[in-house]
């Protein structure tokens, strides 16, 4: 993951069984193609699934935006972890286990905790649109 935004062009599209099937091509590597399937799931929303992803993965949900086109978030930080669901701090017991493991591996606990707190703060900021 990087801060760079890449726009893939649609190379093929067709409507089949009431759904839009389309293929995109990576501009940096013409052999890197991705097949998608898109369908409406509500009045102002749609779902998109990547065709070769295992069935257990939820399709991506999109909602029609009013006004100016939304911007793609480009504030990703290398070395940080990001999650799509709410992030909760570990329980006290899990924090003790994590701290013990970091000490055993020679990772300074305070530095690791500070990095983890920065990750949590970044995730919160990205959810709030800051």
Taking only the tens place, the pLDDT of each residue in 83-118 is 666 667 778 888 888 778 877 877 665 565 666 666
The DSSP code for 53 is S
| Domain range list for the chain | 7-70, 81-130
Distances in Å between the alpha carbon of 109 and those of 2, 50, 101, 122? 27, 40, 9, 20
The C-alpha atoms of residue 48 and residue 130 are separated, in whole angstroms, by 26
pLDDT at residue 125, as a whole number: 59
CB 34 within 8 Å of CB 8: yes
11-51, pLDDT tens digit by residue?
999 999 999 999 999 999 999 999 999 999 888 899 999 98
The whole-model pTM stands at: 0.54
The 45-50 sheet, strands edge to edge: 9-16, 19-26, 29-42, 45-50, 60-63
């Amino acid at each position: 993951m990087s801060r760079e935004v890449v726009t893939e062009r649609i190379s093929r599209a067709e409507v089949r069984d009431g759904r839009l099937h389309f293929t995109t091509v990576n501009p940096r590597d013409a052999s890197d193609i991705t097949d998608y399937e898109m369908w409406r799931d509500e009045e102002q929303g749609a779902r998109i699934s990547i065709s070769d992803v295992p069935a257990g993965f939820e399709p991506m949900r999109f909602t029609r935006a009013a006004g100016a086109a939304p911007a793609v978030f480009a504030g990703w930080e290398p070395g940080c972890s990001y999650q799509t669901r709410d992030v909760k701090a570990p329980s006290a017991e899990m924090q003790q286990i994590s701290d013990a493991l970091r000490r055993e591996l020679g990772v300074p606990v305070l530095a690791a905790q500070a990095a983890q707190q920065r990750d949590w703060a970044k995730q919160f900021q990205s959810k709030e649109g800051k």
